Amino acid sequence: MKVLAGTIAALLLLGLVLWRPWEDATPPPAPAPPAPPTKATPKPPAPELPPEPAVTPVEPPPAPPPGNDLSKLTKEDIQRIRDAVDNVELTLRDYAVALNGNPVGTNAEITAALLGDNAKQLKLDIPAGSTINAAGELCDPWGTAWFFHQLSAKKMELRSAGPDRKIYTDDDFVR
């Protein structure tokens, strides 16, 4: 019995020595195959950008020519332009009351709206002191198109270029 136990113990010991459970049985990972040589691909040329437009500096409006200030106007001239401004303003008010807002667009579009090209086909008279030029624009007593500046749906600035016929000069009439 002792011989059998000694033999079994010897076989177990021999198995342990051969088996070596204390060592890592997994083989180390194989080294990665070398990467294939990459071909140097030429970079596509950068797209050509269009040349930047030249920046034009904003210049202040030109000064009025000498002799065109309001002091050269007679009282009658000043009253005439004031009446014309009043009449355009009243026409715009009538339009706004009838159509719930001012006409919008360019001078020609606003003039067309005042003359009946509107949702209700309301046709108003040309304001006294104003004329209509060949382009269909409503003009001040000097024949220059009125400048309509829409401030809101109910409020519009009205500007006459004045006797020098240049807008944003000292002789403009603005309301």
Phi, psi (5° rounding) for residue 117? -85, 70
Global model pTM greater than 0.85 = no
Alpha-carbon distance of 121 to 6, in angstroms, equals: 123
Q: Residues 132, 126: contact at Cβ < 8 Å?
A: yes
pLDDT tens across the length of the chain (175 residues):
788 778 887 777 777 777 766 666 666 677 777 776 666 677 777 767 766 655 555 555 444 444 456 677 888 888 888 999 999 999 999 999 999 888 999 999 999 999 999 999 999 999 999 999 999 999 999 899 999 998 887 788 999 998 889 999 888 888 8
How many other CB atoms sit within 10 Å of the CB of residue 142?
16
Alpha-carbon distance of 171 to 73, in angstroms, equals: 10
